[in-house]
Every structure is written in C-alpha cells, then in structure tokens.
Amino acid sequence: MKAILVHQCGGPDQLKLEDVPVPVPGPGQALVKIDTSGVNFIDIYFRIGLYKADLPLIPGMEAAGVVESVGAGVDAVAPGDRVAYAMSRGSYAEYAVVPAATLVPVPASVSLADAAAVMLQGMTAHYLSHSTFPLSKGHTALIHAAAGGTGALLVQMARMRGATVIATAGSPEKAARARSVGADEVVLYNTHDFEAETRRLTCGKGVDVVYDSVGAATFAKSLASLKPRGMMVTFGNASGPVPSVEPLVLSQKGSLFLTRPTLGNYVATREELLWRAGDVLRWVSDGTLQLHIHKTYPLDQASLAQTDLAGRNTLGKLLVKP
C-alpha cells in the first residue's frame, strides 16, 4: 500500500510517499481502508518532533473509511462497516490498523469525507464547550482562530449552548466566515489589539473563558482578557508552545484558572467517545453544524497540505485522500 512516512523530524520535505506492507490487525484491532484523512496541527507537531514518537512514523490522527477485516475479540465493528476515528496515528495511508474501540459508526446520511473532516476538530470543540468549560446562557467566550476548522465548529457549539462569542480572525475574509457561523463580535487581531477590544466589548469586565489554539503569540493577552475567576483554555500551539507560567500570575490577574486539555482525556471511555462523536455526526447530518472543507489533496501532496495549514491562510478543513 501507499503511505506517507517520516524517517527524520524536520520540514514538510520529510513527508515521503512510500510502498509499505498492508498491516494486519491484531487482537482488539480493525483494519480500515482509508477513504479520507484529516489534516491537523498535531500532524505537524509529530513531524517536527514537538510531540515525540518512534521513527519512522506515519502521520495522521483522524480518518474515515470502511472496515476491511478485524482481529480476534472484536465485536464492536465488522467488515463492511462505515467508520470514523480520531487520536490513532497513521491515517496518511491507504490502510490503517486502529483499535476497534476507537471506531464510531458513520450514519448513512454523512459522507465519509465529512466524517473525516469533523472527528478530531468536532470532538475537540465538543469537549471544550461541553466539559472543559461548560458554556451556558450568560457566558461570554473569546475564541481565537474562529474561522479555522476547530474555531468555526467551536463558535457554532458555543452559540448552540447560548453563550455570547467574541471571535478573533486574521483577515476580513476570515472575519466574515466567523460571523457566518454565529460569532457576535469579531476582532481582526492583525490590526486591532484583541485584549483592548475584548475589554471594550465587555464594558471592562472581561470574558468568562478564552479558548486559545494559537499558543505563544496570544497567551499573555488572552490571560489579560479574562474576568476574575475566568478560565484560560490553551489547546494548541499554532504560533509555538506557550512559555512557562508562574502560578502567582494567575492570582494577580484575578484568581484565574488555567488548563491545557487534550482530546484523549475527554474520550477516555467508549461511552464518552460515542456521546461526543454521536452528537457531532448527528449535527452534521441534520445541518445543525456547518462544515467548510477548504481543500482535498491527493496523498502524494501531504507536504503541501501541511505547508498550507501551517501558513494559516486556509479557511476551513484540509483533507488528504489516498
């Protein structure tokens, strides 16, 4: 089968298209014929070595496809099932062996491409809005990169839960996208100080929660945008990792809460996984959740897909198709 391999951490040129044997599922595993794979910043973090893994590795943390075969002891899925998954590395390939317990059924009304597009980012938006800081009417949230894949989904879920959303975006086009999915206010952070604008829009009070996937470039001002006892949720490193924080700073800025969550801890059981994925796929099916797929690349252009994502000039989700 064809797969993208990384033999040495580094730039996009380290993504090599190679022929490798089709893997064989072991006990508790399923072999999935990949229809579409999602492209995410976590793939870049593994490629550059920010997140550690044994080499060589096949990138890709989410996909949708059809079960080809199963290993011993698997009864959750069967050959022929349409499935999707996230948080199992190796999806930049024609086939992947995946723990069967991580696979979720894809409704007939949802395309495999849409399922691949929404698994990681959709479930991330779900846990952020429903669990990390459970939003409700009366809350105000600051959401960075609101026109991106996760950001646009998070804006929609925040509005579904009744919260007011202040969004940031990097261009007028991205600002329009953020507004189209429900943002109440949008700040162009390249031309406006989002901290000052957030304070102005909240009459000096600050927001209840900041959802920040950008990282180093926005962290300090995000903290300063919170109201006393607000929560800072840093869940990405698009501009680089957040530097170390002295706990006393949280006290000085109003007894703030700081968390650095990851999806794996919020789909720790199959029941939780099925809840989050089931909600997200149902919302896609009935039109409650709008998806925007920016571009689909052939597998041999995976390096271009990651370059485009890292350049932060895309609007919506990027996919790779074997």
Structural domains of the chain ordered from first start? 2-120+264-321 (3.90.180.10), 136-260 (3.40.50.720)
In the chain, DSSP assigns E strands to: 2-6, 15-19, 29-39, 62-70, 82-86, 95-99, 104-105, 140-143, 164-169, 185-188, 207-212, 226-234, 257-259, 293-298, 317-321
Tokens of 105: 């059924």
Residue 61: closest CA among 301, 319, 322: 319
The C-alpha atoms of residue 44 and residue 237 are separated, in whole angstroms, by: 10
Can you list the alpha helix ranges (DSSP code H) found in the chain? 41-48, 112-127, 149-160, 172-180, 194-201, 219-223, 247-252, 270-286, 302-310
Q: How far apart are CA 201 and CA 221, in angstroms?
A: 15
- Determine the pLDDT at residue 315: 79
Who's near 265: CB < 8 A, 6+ residues apart?
Answer: none
| φ, ψ (nearest 5 deg) of residue 124 | -65, -50
Nearest to 276 by CA among 110, 56, 55, 123: 123
Quick: pLDDT tens for 118-160.
999 999 999 999 999 999 999 999 999 999 889 999 999 999 9
Q: Which residues of the chain have pLDDT under 50?
A: none
Residue 298 is predicted with a pLDDT of 98
The model's pTM: 0.93
Strand partners, 98: 30
pLDDT at residue number 33: 98
CB burial string 274-287: b at 16+ within 10 A, e below:
eebbebbbebbbee
